[in-house]
Chain A
Amino acid sequence: MNPEITDMKSTNNELSLHNDQKDKTLNRIFEVDDLNVYYDDFRAIRDITINVFANEITAFIGPSGCGKTTMLRSFNRMNDLIPSAKITGNLSYRGANLYDKKVDPVEVRRRIGMVFQKPNPFPKSIYDNVAYGPKIAGNVKKGKEMDNLVETSLKKAALWDEVKDRLKSSALGMSGGQQQRLCIARAIATNPDVVLMDEPCSALDPIATGKIEELMTQLKEEYTILIVTHNMQQAARVSDKTAFFSVEVEEESDSRTGILVEIGPTEKIFSNPEDIRTENYITGRFG
């Protein structure tokens, strides 16, 4: 067995205290306080302070290079995989410091799943794609129990009816939209708490996009969702809260840093934002 996984299973960190109870009264899933993320000397995002609430969809919008993906990746410590990355400030998940040394990043990524821009199914069968996560986590046995989990996950991802008769065929034979829903099924098969989505529909046509969006609104009943999107209509359609990030350019050094301009209820952001920079961006006035 992979030693890292053994290590994860034996980790009794603070996160465990909070996870399984899924305490709905603890409304704040993430509390981000003065967060800075650096890649070597380059500061990608500066002094970000936001709260993310349970069973809501929070959308991150903003121009390229504004740090929204960096912010998203901070929520499941994906930035740890980049050696030069370091963070300052505080990011807590269900009240526990996510970056505490005792916290196992692999366990973090099980609780906080991710769906990427380009659908990235494994070159395996549809069934095995969904079963992969629970299998390596070792908490679901093979056979009927796994069959049930695969079925439930595919149903939750609104994919079951389309694939139930070809579970053993390769995932690579599916359409782009189906592949992306498979990736969502794979992400939720490990029973996560949060699903992070990085431009999940940017490679999909409007119908496949519509299906993912519909799915997101169903999934938020059970999960908390954070989504990065360049499509403002998508943010408007699906999200409860919208955060607008922008780029601040320091003229002398020409260094660019991502900042959070404003976060608020989506309807407010798109009808009457507080900050003129938000207004200019969402009305498409300045590039």
Chain B
Amino acid sequence: MQEQLRSTFDEELETIKTGILEMSKIVEETIPIGTQALLEGDLTVAQKIIENDDKLDALSISLEEMCYHVLTLQQPLAGDLRSVMGALWLNSEIERSGDLMCNIAKATRRIFPEKIPNAVASLLTQMSAEAQRLIALSAEAYLKGDAGLAVALDDIDDRLDDLNIETVEAIFETHNQEQLTLHVAVQLALICRYYERIGDHAVNIGERIRYIVDGWSPERTGAARLTQRGEKE
């Protein structure tokens, strides 16, 4: 019989994984709340989102330090090494996604007290739902170590990219019809960009999950193209 070793190390790796999933859950839950505050012009909730981001930062820092601790004291190798390095990447991607919701909350304050026209609001709701879905799917892929789902996030993100173009067009059309001030139109266009970036972070998370699972680094494809063209790094 083989004996299971390194129980402390296993617990530490589990703590890191749980922490990453907790961060992801916070972002996933903040997205619809932030969107609702935006559409309803609720400054109290917007302020709460900005303050709550500090909690995400604190969690992020403690997980980062936990990763350094494990790297230093446990000297992980192979799959363990990839899971710790991957967690560091995920940590930064998720933390940044949280910042983007913070940006949306700040934009909510700048838009106040103007109302967002229904046509734009409806599209922003869809963007919010897509961004939330991508973050949820990336967490699912991480939890299950599902490289297939992780890689598919890139394709799933196409919907959010399309919505971004559509929403920005709708914003400027509404502005042209003089139903939106330039100030609000610009803020809304930036908000579109923030949702769209959350989708991109989810795609990056997916790529790093693939690295955790099978060791494939995402930028290899680009580097291979460079070599194929005969250029140097």
Contacts and interface: CB of A to CB of B under 8 A. Distances in A.
A233 B75 contact: yes
A284 B214 contact: no
Contacts of A284: 5-6, 9
Nearest to B74: A284
Contacts, number: 41
Interface residues of B, number: 16
A132 interface: no
A279 B80 CA distance: 9
Nearest to A284: B6
Interface stretch (A91-99, A170-178, A252-260, A269-277): A269-277
A286 B4 contact: yes
A279 B76 CA distance: 11
Contacts of B75: 233
B82 A271 contact: yes
Contact of B79 (A232, A283, A286, A287): A283
Interface string B75-107: 111111110000000000000000000000000
A233 B77 CA distance: 10
Given A271-B215, A272-B214, A286 B5 contact: yes
Contact of A270 (B3, B4, B77): B77
Given A271-B215, A272-B82, A283 B77 contact: yes
Interface of B: 2-6, 9, 75-82, 214-215
Interface of A: 232-233, 236, 270-273, 278-279, 282-287
Given A271-B78, A271-B82, A286-B2, 15 more contacts: A271-B77, A272-B78, A272-B79, A272-B82, A272-B214, A272-B215, A273-B78, A279-B79, A283-B6, A283-B77, A284-B5, A284-B6, A285-B5, A285-B6, A286-B3
12 contacts: A270-B78, A270-B81, A272-B82, A272-B214, A278-B78, A283-B6, A283-B80, A284-B9, A285-B4, A286-B2, A287-B3, A287-B5
